[in-house]
Amino acid sequence: MVTFGDVQDAARRISGRVLRTPSVPSHALSKATGADITLKLENLQAVGSFKERGAANRLALLTPEERARGVIAVSAGNHAQGVARHASLLGIDTVIVMPRFTPVAKVTRTAAWGARVLLEGNDFTEASLFARDMQQREGRIFIHPYDDPGIMAGQGTLAMELLEDSGPQDALVMPIGGGGLLAGCAVATRALSPATEIIGVQVESYSSLARFPAEEITPPGGPTIAEGIAVTTIGRLTSEVIRRDVSKVLIVTERAVEDAITLLAEGARQVSEGAGAAALAAVMTYPDLFRDRRVALPVSGGNVDTRILANTLLRAMLRDGRLLRLVMEIPDRPGILADISKTIGDAGGNILEVSHQRLFAAPSVQAAELEVLIEARDPGHADQITDALRETYIVRRV
């Protein structure tokens, strides 16, 4: 079992190798949620994630003989980059096994830290089997992403820093993948602030602890924006700590994670990946649990694909009324588009996209269908733009 002494030793071991990230109060998030929010900005780490902490500590624990044998890890993202970076700093030969369909950007970033990347298997399970076989054949040291005391102790330094910098908190909210971050931080929190409630968060498609503290269940799995915590079963070692120290596990939806990414970007000016926003998603989803309480949570990672981030922000704007999609039936004659543009402009709207269909969608050969995407200030402004157009045209909001 990992002890607070292990976390303290890890903090000394990784000092100077891993950034002591800032713990900052967020007035915008506090106003939006009703809680007193403090963020631990792990998205500022060199590899953009807290995973550096555990990797740096575990690799520093290797003996000279183990370093000479080299290491191997399996990961589709942040653990891979953390191991690759710190193994490179220590001069350790490193192999990272990633599933065959891992996004090119993640493969490139991992290789850039000096690791040899092998793309094997159609999913994480198949990649893990290949990595274990290679580890046995070549005698390398396997660096587990979460179920390892050295990894857990390293991750626990996050909570140690947070509590030292920000003082006692009423609640600490952490995402759960394999459980390494939550377990390590629970150990540190129990020692430094025993009154703090420790809460875990899972996304619904990977909610193995949905009945916590009852037995684990098999989640449905599938695509998720929170791929960093897309783990079907938590670790054996991490489970022991979580069941001892964690008070509850909250489940959040995909939409809640998207909304949390948006609030972090617009309110806190922080870029977060899905897993990194899961803790905030829980605070937003269960406001009665956190209202008027001091709540600390990590932005645990910022490695989000730019296309996914852009689409997430646009989807959020569409849901809250700041993006307005209108379909209009219009006469097919000169000057109509100019008139529509003027009406929207006079109402203060900003046209982002126009699709004009004459041949297939229009009900009459003398008519056309126009689809317009408009940026509005807020839902009330969107209604004003729609009403102005309806004075002249048949308008449908979609």
300 is catalytic: yes
Query: In whole angstroms, how far apart are CA 263 and each of 275, 279, 283?
Result: 14, 12, 12
CB 293 within 8 A of CB 35: yes
Catalytic residue among 51, 193, 207, 272: 51
Kind of pairing between the strands at 294-299 and 71-74:
unpaired
Query: In whole angstroms, how far apart are CA 373 and each of 154, 314, 346, 370?
Result: 47, 11, 16, 10
Rounded Cα distance, 106 and 281, in Å: 25
Catalytic residue among 23, 49, 208, 300: 300
Rounded Cα distance, 272 and 264, in Å: 7
Residue 93 CB-density burial (10 A; 0-12 exposed, 13-18 middle, 19+ buried): middle
Please give the angle made by the CA atoms of 106, 61 and 175, to the nearest 5 degrees.
45
Please give the angle made by the CA atoms of 154, 158 and 161, to the nearest 5 degrees.
120
List Cβ neighbours of 207 (8 Å cut-off, separation of 6 or more).
217, 219, 251
Enumerate the active-site residues. Answer: 51, 300
